[in-house]
């Protein structure tokens, strides 16, 4: 049963109710797993989300000689002692994840040499890595792109430097932090990204003996140390998985306690959902989201943290599509992030894209349709829309969704949502039949 035939089959109309536990942050995990090979000691990392991106990176780390041992589904012990100097990082999977680039910073710092297959990831725009390269070169490395599409970064000596990032970049900030941790002297990263996962990676590096100050502000100062040592660390919760479940609750007029979150990281999302008419109550490490199905339109622009995250843009647009009025969603980070629009149109959404804005005219209801996920968050948006729709939908190319959501169908089902995973056409038919036989109460109808 190939990945290519897998689908989600969803019947909309059920209010989501209950509790959902959020996994560790995928984007923090990717930086932390790469950083773990920078020491020869054992490192134990807890709360690693079991999603395909983290599994792919772990395979790549293993392939270059590190030992990777799972204590349980979410806890991994890594030992980077066996990582071979000069070993290229390249395999059939690594090019598919963008975060393979963190191995450039990690290996350049550790061995002053990295040879890494150029990153792939979701096709949401040009996504260059010029800022990463500029940072490494400022630290004294030379870089070259070699045939077959790999990058080699190397140096005789690295030396701390002052680096100004022209654009706020999560990846470049983390990558430079990684290399600078083992670079003699002081490195300053100005106009650094401030996302919670930047702080998490910095905290992890500091637990391994690095000296990084200012993560979470736009000036990060790194004092290079000679060696990093073993550590135990637990990854922060995934703000985007949390936000996705919050949006899903609002879409279905539900009432859900979203557990294992840091409410502060969710502020931009919570306040947008509140503006739309939802109630969000914050507790110490959970948020309750309640909605009655009546949604107000709003304006939204994606921005680097603490602004509204681009990784939540599609999910919010999916619910604005059934709000009572016209909304405008502007994407300012990536240029290719409206690919879900044509899929939502199959469900009856009225969305017009003009430049980097989507003008969304709310419709009364979506109707079930067959759709394709074009990237990770676009896929999540289609799931949300399908859960709010009349009738049954299918979503294919769910390999993208699995990159970032752990047991998505099971978590949605535990909240009462009618969502099944189907491996092939036969199980799609079976799933449709099973979902059609479920009872949906009259008062279960979501939105308006």
Q: Is 79 among the catalytic positions?
A: no
Interface residue with ligand UD1, options 13, 105, 109, 171 (CB under 6 A): 171
Shorter beta-carbon distance to ligand UD1: residue 51 or 76: 51
The residue to which tokens 């038919």 are assigned: 429
Shorter beta-carbon distance to ligand UD1: residue 82 or 125: 125
Q: How far is the CB of 167 from ligand UD1 (least distance, A)?
A: 4
Q: Does 172 bind ligand UD1 (CB under 6 A)?
A: yes
Interface residue with ligand UD1, options 169, 252, 394, 427 (CB under 6 A): 169
Q: How far is the CB of 402 from ligand UD1 (least distance, A)?
A: 15
Q: Does 392 bind ligand UD1 (CB under 6 A)?
A: no
Interface residue with ligand UD1, options 19, 123, 130, 285 (CB under 6 A): 130
Q: Does 48 bind ligand UD1 (CB under 6 A)?
A: no
- Cis peptide leading into residue 306 (ω within 30°): yes
Instruction: Please identify which of the residues 51, 106, 122, 131 carries the catalytic annotation.
Output: 122
Interface residue with ligand UD1, options 60, 61, 108, 131 (CB under 6 A): 131
The residues with which 313 forms a beta bridge, in sequence order, are none
φ, ψ for residue 21 (rounded to 5)?
-100, 125
Q: How far is the CB of 97 from ligand UD1 (least distance, A)?
A: 8
Q: Does 30 bind ligand UD1 (CB under 6 A)?
A: yes
Sheet holding 357-361, edge to edge: 299-301, 326-330, 357-361, 350-354
Shorter beta-carbon distance to ligand UD1: residue 22 or 322: 22
Q: Does 149 bind ligand UD1 (CB under 6 A)?
A: no
Interface residue with ligand UD1, options 142, 167, 217, 271 (CB under 6 A): 167
Interface residue with ligand UD1, options 9, 61, 99, 317 (CB under 6 A): 99
Where are the strands (E) in 160-294, listed by range? 162-164, 186-190, 211-213, 219-223, 231-234, 255-259, 279-282, 286-290
Q: Which stretch binds ligand UD1 (CB under 6 A): 8-16, 54-62, 65-73, 129-137?
A: 129-137
Shorter beta-carbon distance to ligand UD1: residue 27 or 327: 27
* Nearest-angstrom CA–CA distance, 435 and 202: 46
Residue 105: name the closest of 37, 43, 42 by CA. Answer: 37
Residue 54: name the closest of 385, 403, 391 by CA. Answer: 403
Interface residue with ligand UD1, options 198, 316, 333, 389 (CB under 6 A): 333
Q: How far is the CB of 169 from ligand UD1 (least distance, A)?
A: 3
Contacts of 275 (CB under 8 A, 6+ apart): 296, 298
Binding residues for ligand UD1 restricted to 178-217, rule: CB under 6 A: 193
Residue 249: name the closest of 282, 275, 273 by CA. Answer: 273
Are 60 and 88 in contact by the 8 Å Cβ rule? The answer is: no
CA atoms 262, 180, 129, 53: torsion sign = negative
Contacts of 409 (CB under 8 A, 6+ apart): 8, 419, 420, 421
- What is the set of active-site residues? 122
Residues that bind ligand UD1 (CB under 6 A): 27, 30, 98-99, 125-132, 167, 169-172, 193, 310-311, 333-334
């Amino acid at each position: 049963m190939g990945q290519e035939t897998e689908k989600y089959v969803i019947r909309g109309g059920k209010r989501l109710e209950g509790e959902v536990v959020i996994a560790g942050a995928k984007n923090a995990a990717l930086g932390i797993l790469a950083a773990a090979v920078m020491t020869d000691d054992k490192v134990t990392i807890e709360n690693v989300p079991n999603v395909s991106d983290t599994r792919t990176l772990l395979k790549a780390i293993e392939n270059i000689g590190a030992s990777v041992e799972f204590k349980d589904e979410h806890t991994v012990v890594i030992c980077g002692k066996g990582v071979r100097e000069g070993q290229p990082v390249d395999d059939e999977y690594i090019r598919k994840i963008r975060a393979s680039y963190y191995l450039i910073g990690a290996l350049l710092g550790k061995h002053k040499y990295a040879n890494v297959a150029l990153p792939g990831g979701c096709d949401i725009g040009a996504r260059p890595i010029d800022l990463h390269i500029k940072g490494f070169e400022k630290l004294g490395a030379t870089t070259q792109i070699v045939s077959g599409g790999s990058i080699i970064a190397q140096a005789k000596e690295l030396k701390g430097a002052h680096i100004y990032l022209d654009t706020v970049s999560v990846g470049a900030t983390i990558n430079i932090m990684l290399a600078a941790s083992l670079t003699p002297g002081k490195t300053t990263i100005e106009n650094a990204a401030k996302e919670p996962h930047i702080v998490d990676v910095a905290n992890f590096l500091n637990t391994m003996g690095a000296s990084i100050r200012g993560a979470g502000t736009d000036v990060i100062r790194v004092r290079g140390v000679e060696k990093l040592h073993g550590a135990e660390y637990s990854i922060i919760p995934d703000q985007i998985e949390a936000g996705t479940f919050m949006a899903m609750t609002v879409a279905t007029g539900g009432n859900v306690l979203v557990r294992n979150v840091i409410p502060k990281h969710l502020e931009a999302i919570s306040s947008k959902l509140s503006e739309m008419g939802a109630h969000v109550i914050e507790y110490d490490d959970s948020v309750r989201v309640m909605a009655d199905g009546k949604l107000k339109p709003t304006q939204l622009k994606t921005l680097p943290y603490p602004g509204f995250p681009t990784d939540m843009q599609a999910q919010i647009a999916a619910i604005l599509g059934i709000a009572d009025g016209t909304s405008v969603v502007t994407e300012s980070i990536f240029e290719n992030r409206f690919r879900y629009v044509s899929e939502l149109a199959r469900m009856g959404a009225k969305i017009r894209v003009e430049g980097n804005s989507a003008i969304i005219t709310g419709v009364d209801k979506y109707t079930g349709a067959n759709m394709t996920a074009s990237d990770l968050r676009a896929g999540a948006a289609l799931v949300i829309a399908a859960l709010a729709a009349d009738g049954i939908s299918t979503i294919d190319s769910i390999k993208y969704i699995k990159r970032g959501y752990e047991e998505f169908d099971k978590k949605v089902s535990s909240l009462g949502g009618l969502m099944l995973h189907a491996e092939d056409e036969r199980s799609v038919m079976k799933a449709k039949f099973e979902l059609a036989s479920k009872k949906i109460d009259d008062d279960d109808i979501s939105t308006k």
